[in-house]
């Protein structure tokens, strides 16, 4: 195959030790470090930085500028800084990651996941298959977001949090109506070591305290207490989290 099929811009910097698959497009000012593996039919937008030993699957889009609908309430002002993918990260196939985001060292973004603008995925964290991180989401280190979870905009998830499959977070109590929603829009804060069971629903602005355990299928309508197990719709305290399950300080 000829080089033009790969579409590497002359101003891109690509290490000689890295490999790029067929029909991949690398735009200007992209920097690809040592021992990076890029799959087939990948699009890497201008300015994206991919550090050493990163793996990128087929048909993935990296560093795409955000495209907002006319009715979107999100911030449109200013340019977005380029996407940065730190060393040893794994990016799956059919992933879309927008500009303005940082993927930490040894992090994994699994097949079919979507990560929007101004997000941060911490070191050794996982964004599972088909999971969605909306704009301005902050993930700490060693966070696990499992398959199909929906993390709404402006959510903060601290270190060592576990989010089970199909968890849904929300940030708008007015569901798109009234001007009041603009100043009150707020995602949940899920603090260190908390665990949220599958198919749970977390309402806007709720603070889930450290080491909270939310049982599967629960509806979280208010702030929780540290180290308690909650269950139900709406969820209520059932008991203490066993001491042997708590993280060391």
pLDDT, tens only, 79-135:
689 999 999 999 999 999 999 999 999 999 999 999 999 999 999 999 999 999 999
pLDDT, tens only, 187-213:
999 999 999 999 999 999 999 999 999
pLDDT, tens only, 220-243:
999 999 999 999 999 999 999 999
Whole-structure pTM value: 0.92
Report the C-alpha gap between 109 and 102 in whole angstroms: 12
Q: Give the SS3 label for residue 184.
A: helix
Contacts with 124 (C-beta within 8 Å, 6 or more apart), sequence order:
104, 105, 106, 107, 141, 142
Sheet holding 108-109, edge to edge: 19-20, 37-38, 55-56, 90-91, 108-109, 126-127, 144-145, 162-163, 195-196, 213-214, 228-232, 235-240
pLDDT, tens only, 153-180:
999 999 999 999 999 999 988 777 777 6
Report the C-alpha gap between 122 and 229 in whole angstroms: 26
């Amino acid at each position: 195959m000829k080089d033009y099929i790969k579409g590497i811009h002359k101003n891109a910097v690509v290490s000689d030790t890295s490999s790029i698959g067929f029909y991949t497009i690398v735009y200007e000012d992209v920097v690809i470090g040592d021992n990076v593996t890029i799959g087939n039919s990948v699009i890497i937008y201008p300015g994206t930085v991919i550090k050493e030993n990163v793996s990128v699957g087929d048909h993935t889009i990296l560093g795409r500028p955000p495209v907002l609908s006319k009715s979107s309430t999100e911030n449109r002002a200013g340019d977005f800084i380029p996407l940065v993918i730190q060393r040893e990260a794994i990016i799956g196939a059919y992933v879309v990651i927008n500009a303005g985001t940082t993927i930490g060292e040894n992090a994994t973004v699994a097949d079919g996941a979507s990560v929007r603008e101004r997000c941060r995925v911490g070191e050794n964290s996982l964004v599972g298959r088909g999971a969605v991180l909306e704009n301005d989401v902050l993930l700490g280190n060693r966070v696990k977001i499992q398959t199909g979870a929906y993390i709404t905009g402006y959510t903060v998830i601290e270190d060592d949090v576990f989010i089970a499959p199909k968890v849904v977070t929300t940030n708008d109590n007015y569901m798109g109506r009234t001007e009041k929603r603009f100043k009150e829009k707020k995602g949940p804060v899920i603090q260190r070591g908390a665990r949220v069971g599958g198919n749970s629903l977390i309402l806007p602005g709720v603070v889930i305290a450290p080491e909270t355990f939310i049982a599967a299928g629960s509806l979280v309508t208010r702030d929780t207490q540290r180290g308690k197990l909650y269950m139900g719709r709406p969820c209520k305290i059932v008991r203490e989290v066993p001491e042997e399950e708590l993280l060391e300080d």
